[in-house]
Amino acid sequence: DVLRSIEPGTLVVAVGPGASGKSTFAAEAGIVTVVCLDSLREQIGGDAGDQAVTPAAVVEQNILLEKHLSEGTTLYLDSTNVEARVRAELVERARRHGRPVVALRFLPHLDTCRARNSARPPNRQVPGDVLAWQHSLALAATPKALLAEGFTAAHDIVTPL
């Protein structure tokens, strides 16, 4: 399967809108080293959904990426990564360390994301327009497009509804 095909030292990048199952996948697959932007926001500002601390959380995320890439730890980056500009930085960072960088795209139907999103605690809900925007960007990030961006491999993760 996909996870077994991943070489040690790989930067594994989740790509998917809010409530698409990125964190659930990591937990269920037993992925050990996870860098998660939500958790960093929680650690920094006490609230995983507080976008005001995103810049500080991204700084911390990049420090952790550097650490794991230089040590060669396989790492799962659990953030949305739907913007090409954000992914370009990740590809570049992995390349500087000579590490493979693999994308896993999570893309349930928008209605499914919406339903899961509304079932979450209020501070963890992504606004509806943001969710739709993230979803449309993730739709465009096909495995073919991700390979063209420089990813070593790109897979669609299909989770049961």
Which residues form the interface with Mg ion (CB under 5 A)? Answer: 23
In the complex, least distance from residue 38 CB atom to Mg ion, rounded to whole angstroms: 5
Q: Which residues of 51-67 are buried (b: 16+ CB within 10 A; e: fewer)?
A: eebbeebbebbeebbee
Among 6, 13, 16, 74, binds ligand ATP (CB under 6 A): 16
24 binds, among ligand ATP, Mg ion, none (CB under 5 to 8 A by kind): ligand ATP
Residue 49 Cβ vs ligand ATP, minimum distance, rounded to whole Å: 8
List the one residue from 10, 23, 61, 152 that touches ligand ATP (CB under 6 A): 23
Q: CA of 35: how far to CAs of 67, 114, 128, 140, in Å?
A: 11, 24, 25, 24
